[in-house]
Amino acid sequence: MNFQTTETIQRLWETFLQEQMQNLPPEQREALGTQFENKLGELLQKAGGDSEGAFFDLIGLGPQGQGGFDKVGYPYISPDFDDSIVPSQLHAAAELYYIYQHERMKIFEVVETLLRLFRLGKMRIQRGPGARGLYLLEKWRPLRYGKSDRMVAYRRAFNYGTAQAPAGAVVNRNFHRQMLGFMVAVGQYFRDLLIGEVIRGGQLIDQRPFGSVGTIQRIGLDLRYALDRSTYGNVFALAMETGHYLVEVLKLLDAPDIKKAFDANTKWDVVEIVSNRYLGGVAEPSQRAKMAESGRRMLQFIADNDFKTAVDPILFQSVVRPMGAHAEAWVAAYRMTPEGRGFPGVTPALQSVLGVPQAA
């Protein structure tokens, strides 16, 4: 189609849409509105035709020679920026976040301490599964990525820690701000839904979410883009290897002979006792465990969601509903950590991420 045909489609579309919506029952308008919007995008894309041939027609090198603008195809540019990501990197970032929170819980330091105590004969275990597990860890040293490698990965992906970022590497400096903003936006969305359930009165209002979809989509896209551009290199391999290692050491800490050596009932008791006795104190295991669980789930949701602009709000509400509990749990746990005790609250935090100036 040429430019004139495309211009006619755009000009007449709104009139056509109003006529069709007017003849539809009210309960069908909401569902069909998104379909009409998608149909307009398909028509404009087809109107573009052969973009390469149109370019040669424009400069006069086509088979018909030099012609006017009315005979040149419409230059439809497909919006693909939000889709240009590597999903495996985003899933690796989700696992790396889970690993980071366990790093803050001193899990890896606890295991190194147990290895040292086992080697020096300061822990009364001999032939049990825990002793064999410690022997195998000391013999094979399966974790090739040491603490310095992990700290560099945390710095690159999340800007966490004090490790020096490699020269030339991309550092995701706004991760925590965007992560907090996304959690707050999802939590605020469902708080608004609860308010909407209280004040609903009309038939159509009962079918429409009360919260803002656009805020969640905007922060989610920014967070996904920033993670994608900073988690290249060895982050995927590091997350895979360290994740498997973390699974095994958590099983090791739950071995009966290790728990008996510290008079502990669970592996988390072992972590707490060893941390207090040898590592200068425990590091918020309850809060970190919840942040690890909910943070990883939210990052997986961001990695797998395309955040389409014209999404049906009812469909979006159904998809994002399970995330509301994770967002609230993450924020509640974060506020109990040392870095989260200065949390300004839901509204100021969301305004900060969105760039809204706050009143003095």
For the residues 13-20, what does the mean pLDDT come to? Answer: 70
Residue 96 confidence (pLDDT): 97
Give the Cα separation of 200 and 342 in Å (integer).
35
Q: Which helix (H) or strand (E) holds 4?
A: helix 3-22
- Cα–Cα distances (Å) from 194 to 197, 211, 229, in that order, read 5, 9, 36
Nearest residue to 104 via CA among 283, 286, 331, 246: 283
Higher-pLDDT residue of 171, 56: 171
Each residue's pLDDT tens digit, 77-94: 777 777 788 889 999 999
Contact 323, 298 (CB under 8 A): yes
Nearest residue to 175 via CA among 135, 224, 241: 224
Q: If DSSP codes are grouped into helix, strand and coil, which group holds residue 58?
A: helix
Q: Where are the domains of the chain?
A: 3-78, 87-354
User: Where do we find the tokens 């849409």?
Assistant: 17
Q: What is the pTM of this model?
A: 0.83
Nearest residue to 91 via CA among 101, 79, 102, 99: 99
Contact 58, 85 (CB under 8 A): no
Q: Which amino acid is at 155?
A: R
Give the Cα separation of 48 and 235 in Å (integer).
40
Q: Which amino acid is at 135?
A: Y
* Confidence band for 64, pLDDT divided at 50, 70 and 90: low
Residue 285 confidence (pLDDT): 93
Other CB atoms within 10 A of residue 220 CB = 24
Each residue's pLDDT tens digit, 226-277: 999 999 999 999 999 999 999 999 999 999 999 999 999 999 999 999 999 9
